Amino acid sequence: MREEVRDIERLEHMLEAMNVLIEYKERHTLEDAQADPVVYFGLVKHVEIIGEAVYKLTLEFRANHTEVNWGDIERMRHVLVHGYYKIRPCQLWETITIDIPELKPIVEQLIQEKRQNQGNSANSFAGRK
């Protein structure tokens, strides 16, 4: 079930996974990841988490934030989960090294906006008696 109040949590899940991926790519190469299947599939899992979080965002939130191509992120998740045998390591690494760093500041901004909106909603509600 998709709930608006959970949108911020989903964005935070995305940010956590992005931070792990960015930290890894700053210290390692694709060859390092491919040499260790546990590490490689750990990276896959973090990209999956981002896609699953996108899938769980409310449709309204996604429609209101067209600056992100939510559909592409969700489709990649489906490939990683259901088409695991088709994963191309170079494409995964490109996602980690290019797409994730570009997406991170947008997600951070969306989290900040959601927090501000929640604060404004709480303040306007508290003012009513």
82 is an active site residue: yes
Mapping DSSP to helix (H, G, I), strand (E, B) and coil, where does residue 65 land? coil
How many CA atoms lie less than 13 Å away from 108 in the CB half-sphere?
Answer: 8
The catalytically annotated residue of 2, 28, 75, 82 is: 82
DSSP string, 14-60: HHHHHHHHHHHHHH--HHHHHH-HHHHHHHHHHHHHHHHHHHHS-HH
Determine which one of 10, 62, 75, 77 is catalytic. 77
Contact between residue 46 and residue 21 where contact means Cβ atoms under 8 Å apart: yes
Q: Which residues are catalytic?
A: 77, 82
